[in-house]
Chain A
Amino acid sequence: MAKRIDVSGLTAYYGSHKAIEDISMTVEPRSVTAFIGPSGCGKSTFLRTLNRMHEVTPGGRVEGKVLLDDENLYGAGVDPVSVRRTVGMVFQRPNPFPTMSIYENVVAGVRLNGGRLRKADLDALVERSLQGANLWKEVKDRLDKPGAGLSGGQQQRLCIARAIAVEPQVLLMDEPCSALDPISTLAIEDLIGELKERFTIVIVTHNMQQAARVSDRTAFFNLAGVGQPGKLVEIDDTQRIFSNPSVQATEDYISGRFG
């Protein structure tokens, strides 16, 4: 199920502005990789290049290669829509569809893609996905209620359930806990630990304790100055990054001596 991601020489632009430059890394399957770094260093942009969401922004374009188990996402003839079905994404702010119920939100990916499943199969999918997102117990009696009526943490788990319902290979998370309280954050972190058994997970976070808690490997991004493109400084095992990083800038950032 889970796939390996190999990025080589990736540069992304917004119009003429170069947002990230020459990034190469490998993301191992069935593991959690965390991206840390100061604001504006291109973590989110890089994450969005991994499922071709970057080009949704007007003027967004990419150079370089992203291999998903030997298949280049930016190769000729690759359909961005099918890339996004393989590489799912969870956003910073919980964004359930306001017109849909909890049930409809979970099956949105399947239904909107025109999939026709029998009612029993859909029910099973909803239960499986909500259980996968640790939300089933809380909402199983009110599946027909609007998804926007849940609390922030529940909404975010609903969004995770929605993302895993389409059975992606990779799950990208863009600061999934930054809008949540510590208890909801803990629930999501536990969930990430469970999900990595099945998916390749990449998570962007500003919270270094969180990166240390949930990830197997950590990548540190930095930028030389305002207006300069962001670059990958180093990527290593999380333990090493937080105890004995090989680059001085990483140590400065982690220990708070940055800038």
Chain B
Amino acid sequence: MSEAMMDQPVITDTPSGSAPLPRTSLHRPRLPRWAPYALAAGSAAAGSAVGLAAGLGSHVQWGLIAALLYVLSTLGVATRVEGLRQAKDRLATTLVWVCFLVAVVPLVSLVWETVSRGVKVLDGTFLSHSMAGVLTIQPGGGVYHAIIGTLEQVGIATAIAAPVGLLTAVYLVEYGRGRLARAVTFFVDVMTGIPSIVAGLFVLSFWILMLDFGYSGLAGSMALAILMMPVVVRSTEEMLKLVPNELREASLALGVPKWRTILKVVLPTAIGGIATGVMLAVARIAGESAPIVLLVFGSQVINNNPFEGAQSSLPYYIYEQWAAGNEASYDRAWAAALVLIAFVMILNLVARGIARWKAPKTSR
């Protein structure tokens, strides 16, 4: 009797009489793989058609109509075929793609515009000559004095801001407790929001008007350093926080003093990220023109000495040439813009190179 019972498969969960659970299939209708692309193409065509029919002049409007159609049609089709949950998933994917394109289109068009207009006068002469003796309505002249100015001003600003910012971040992460650390963090946050013109005015009133030094690249560098410092502090702080505490403890447990632990273990581990942060801060200040107008004054001739006399800089040069308002100076402004973008681009590549080179090694 008992053996017979054991041989029987035991089914107890569904008492007889109650309806069995509906058999759910794991298969659901799916849109074919090409559907998103087809919808995108269809939306683009429809957007263009609507734009053409309504006589909208701007292609941006066409694009936005197409984007809206794409989102709505995807949502509609997916809800119909695949059900609500899948449709939500598709909606999110579509929104991400549309936002990506909205962000990328202006960027690409900016680069395209700058390159196509800038290459016209960009050549060896342009890079190696100043504007000395060139009338703004004439073609010719160059950007050399502005490149020198930007390199020196940004270089000095980095030399001031990077060590101060780095040490501040080390203090905040490794030592800072209590009120002083909170105050420092607060003021760094406040400094992040300082408009560049205000930093320029501060240095103008303090350095040039009160202490009576003249216009110089150095004065500009000080304003740029003020702008750069909070960015360096913030990024370095984040990088130092990423260093696992276990590494600090491992070093301390070997009997290494705290300062050496920071210098030899914590900073090397984070150096890639720190370098990237500093380079990004450099890229940010390289494009500042307001403090330069106030403090460096601008110049048409080469001045290699950043500590005395007016200099130029790339953003100032662009502003100046554009303000001159004729065909030749427009060309120079575009070419200078291209040089500035290339400068920032090179800095970014260098930062990435350092980050990759210095990154903690894990390969076997």
- A residues in contact (CB < 8 Å) with B: 51, 53, 56, 58, 81-86, 88-89, 91, 93, 95, 97-99, 108-109, 111-114, 145-146, 148-149, 159, 162-163, 166
Contact = CB atoms under 8 A, between A and B. Distances in A.
B246 interface: yes
Interface in B347-364: 358, 360-364
Instruction: Give the bracket for the number of chain B residues in contact with chain A.
Output: 20 to 34
A85 B251 CA distance: 11
Contacts of B256: 81, 109, 112-113
Contacts of A108: 251, 254
Contact of A89 (B253, B361, B364): B253
B246 A109 contact: no
Given A112-B260, A112-B265, A98 B249 contact: no
Contacts of B261: 112
A88 B247 CA distance: 15
B254 A53 contact: no
Q: Which of A88, A111, A112 has the most CB of B within 10 A?
A: A112
A109 B361 contact: no
Nearest to B261: A112
Nearest to B269: A99
B29 interface: no
Given A58-B177, A98-B269, A163 B363 contact: no
Nearest to A159: B250
A88 B361 contact: no
Nearest to B271: A99
The 3 closest A-B pairs by CB, nearest first: A85-B255, A98-B360, A146-B361
B255 A91 contact: no
A162 B362 contact: no
Q: Which of B249, B250, B251 has the most CB of A within 10 A?
A: B250
Contacts of B247: 95, 97-98
Interface in B239-274: 244, 246-257, 260-261, 264-265, 268-269
A53 B249 contact: yes
A66 to B, nearest CB: 16
Contact of B255 (A56, A81, A159): A81
16 contacts: A51-B253, A58-B177, A81-B257, A91-B249, A95-B247, A98-B360, A99-B269, A108-B254, A112-B251, A112-B260, A114-B260, A145-B363, A149-B362, A149-B363, A163-B253, A166-B254
Given A89-B253, A95-B249, A149-B361, 4 more contacts: A84-B253, A91-B250, A99-B358, A112-B260
Nearest to B260: A112
B250 A145 contact: no
A74 B260 CA distance: 23
A99 B361 contact: yes
Q: Is the contact region of chain B dominated by helix, strand, or loop, or is it mixed?
A: helix
Q: Which of A53, A93, A108 has the most CB of B within 10 A?
A: A108
A95 B252 contact: no
Given A91-B246, A97-B269, A99-B269, A149 B253 contact: no
Interface in B322-364: 358, 360-364
Contacts of B248: 56
A99 B360 contact: yes
Nearest to A111: B264
A113 B258 CA distance: 11
Contacts of A109: 254-256
Contact of B250 (A82, A83, A95): A95
Contacts of B364: 145, 149
Contacts of B264: 111-112
Contacts of B269: 97-99
Contacts of B244: 95
A81 B258 CA distance: 9
Nearest to B358: A99
Given A91-B246, A99-B269, A112-B264, A163 B254 contact: yes
A24 B255 CA distance: 25
A8 to B, nearest CB: 24
Contacts of B249: 53, 56, 91, 95
Contacts of A145: 363-364
Nearest to B252: A56
Interface string B256-300: 110011001100110000000000000000000000000000000
A166 B244 CA distance: 23
A53 B361 contact: no
Contacts of B252: 53, 56, 84
